[in-house]
Amino acid sequence: MTNSNWTASTSPQQQNLRALAEKTLINNDLGGYTVPTHGLYPFQWNWDSAITALGWMQFDEQRAWQELEILFSGQWPDGMVPHILFHKDSDSYFPGPVVWGADKPIKSTSISQPPVVGSVMKIMLEQAKDPHFAREKATTLFNKLVDYHLWWYQQRDPEETGLVVTYHPWESGMDNSPAWDDALQAVPCVTWSYERRDTKHVDSAQRPHKSEYDRFLYLVDFFKQHQFDSKRIFAQCPYKMNDIGIIAILHRASKDLLIMSEMLQMQDERTEYIAKRMEVTQQAISALWCEKDHYFYSRNVLTNQLVAVKTSAGLLSLYAGFASATQKTSLNKTSIEWLQASQFSLASTHPSASCYEPQRYWRGPIWLHINWMIALGLEESGYQDTAKSIQNDSRELIKLAGFYEYFNPETGAGCGGKDFSWTAAIAMHWLL
Ligand code: GLC
């Protein structure tokens, strides 16, 4: 936790950073969609794009809506919005469309990513300076958004347990989180050889290990061999997770979708169905609460075990709004103690955990879009001071290091890719 003396007033330094943030998005624009960063991630990523739209909203509303339109242009007929859309060829990334093997008009991966887009759309609708235009755009996208949420509830929770299942660590958006370690052990390794491209752009000490990549690729092959058939994959996938991060983000986005359905007067039996499924989630969520640790964990569906490692995903339960009053109190206490455990916050894995690695991707580094969601959840739960501390640290990090992909909680150093879209977008939306 740092003591920031940066006030909310617009200083020249803030103006400068804001201009740089705008420039980052403009430079990463590939004609209607934004790459997370050039080289390392040369395509359109699902939750990156959604978060990035919040940044575009600050200076080009038309462009912000276009980001979402292009994202939904890659939606599969069953409603799934893929995790990556390969609009243009690039050889700086692996695995590309051939390895994924999904035969669709817009080449894509065959899994999704945290569905934050519904929540983003609601913010865009509420904050629009041109409400007429925003309403028109939201109205056109709304049914696609509903299809996407129905896909989560129906294809990823066909037994209506209330807790959707994810099939790949890449789907969680938190690729090498220690929460996936044990479950990944049950996944075989690919037997073919491949050449990674990520470690050509970023120091391998800041990236996942080969042992993880071998299993990530096995799962990609598995989906292809099962012809992307939802029923077969649900029945046989060797990796099935109730990811508390995705469950929380979906729940919040469904709530926002229902609010939008009222704003746009688009309520119907499909939105009613989503409301019913949300009630089932609210009932089921206690299964992910660990009474001993006072914390929400993900659950390995195949072993029915909670994954008892404290990652920042558990704090998204506040953002989702499904924590009870006593759970909220515990989670705020945990957050305060978490903030004190490193120089900057909030580390993606609790610094006291043995698997904590402050510079390796999702095993410790700070991610600003996650900070934003956690702070929002804390604020809405009545913990303004804790939320402010997270916001101050986030500001301090961009001031010190710029718009990096993620940050080392011990030193504040920027890690991973440079000039990163979602970091610049969150800076504009939340920090500057
Ligand atoms: C990495 C991150 C993922 C993100 C993608 C593009 O795979 O783990 O969350 O969407 O990069 O930035």
pLDDT tens per residue, range 184-195: 999 999 999 999
pLDDT band at 369 (very low <50, low <70, confident <90, very high): very high
In ligand 1, which atom is closest to the CA atom of 46?
10
pLDDT digits (tens, 9 = 90+) for 81-96: 999 999 999 989 999 9
Q: What percent of the chain has pLDDT over 90?
A: 95
12-69 pLDDT per residue, tens: 889 999 999 999 999 999 999 999 999 999 999 999 999 999 999 999 999 999 999 9
| 346-375 average pLDDT score | 98
Residue with tokens 């510079």: 359
In the reported structure, the alpha carbon of residue 77 is separated from the centroid of ligand 1 by a whole-number distance in angstroms of 24
Distance CA 364, CA 30 (A): 31
Mutate to test the pocket of ligand 1, among 24, 45, 116, 426 (most ligand atoms within 8 A of CB): 45
Dist. CA 3–CA 270, nearest whole Å:
48
Cα(262) to centroid(ligand 1), Å: 33
Tell me how far apart the alpha carbons of residues 201 and 199 are, in angstroms, rounded to a whole number: 5
Is the Cβ atom of 407 under 6 angstroms away from ligand 1? no
Q: Give percent of the chain above pLDDT 70.
A: 98
Three-class secondary structure of residue 41 per DSSP = strand
- The residue with tokens 């800041």 is 206
d(C-alpha 38, C-alpha 419), whole Å: 9
Q: Per the residue annotation, which of 48, 147, 405, 419 is the catalytic one?
A: 405
pLDDT band at 291 (very low <50, low <70, confident <90, very high): very high
CA 141, chain centre distance (Å)? 20
The DSSP result for 60-127, as a single string, is -HHHHHHHHHHHHHT--TTS---SEE--S--SSSSS-HHHH----SS-B-SS----THHHHHHHHHHH
Q: For atom 9 of ligand 1, which residue has the closest CA?
A: 173
- Predicted confidence at residue 41, as pLDDT, reads 95
Q: With 90 as the cut, is the pLDDT of residue 368 above it?
A: yes
- For residue 216 and ligand 1, the question of a CB distance below 6 A is answered with no
Burial 273-289 (b: 16+ CB within 10 A, else e): ebeebbeebeebbeebb
For residues 153-163, give the mean pLDDT: 98
Q: Residue whose CA is closest, atom 12 of ligand 1?
A: 36
Confidence band of 10 (pLDDT split at 50, 70, 90):
confident
Confidence of residue 7 (pLDDT cuts 50, 70, 90): low
Is residue 69 among the annotated active site residues? Answer: no
Q: How confident is the model at residue 285 (pLDDT cuts 50, 70, 90)?
A: very high
367 CA closest ligand 1 atom index = 9
End-to-end CA distance of the chain: 19
Residue 206 Cα, ligand 1 centroid: separation in angstroms? 13
What is this structure's pTM? 0.97
Instruction: Give the model confidence (pLDDT) of 238-252 as tens digits.
Output: 999 999 999 999 999
The pLDDT tens digits of the residues spanning 222-276 come to 999 999 999 999 999 999 999 999 999 999 999 999 999 999 999 999 999 999 9
Residue 309 binned pLDDT confidence (cut-offs 50, 70, 90):
very high
Of the pLDDT bands very low, low, confident and very high (cuts 50, 70, 90), residue 72 is very high
pLDDT at residue 2 in the model: 60
Q: CB within 8 A of 40, min separation 6: which ones?
A: 92, 93, 198, 201, 202, 405, 416, 417
Residue 191 is predicted with a pLDDT of 93
Q: Is the pLDDT of residue 4 over 90?
A: no
Read off the pLDDT band of 3 (50, 70, 90). Answer: low
Active site residue 405: yes
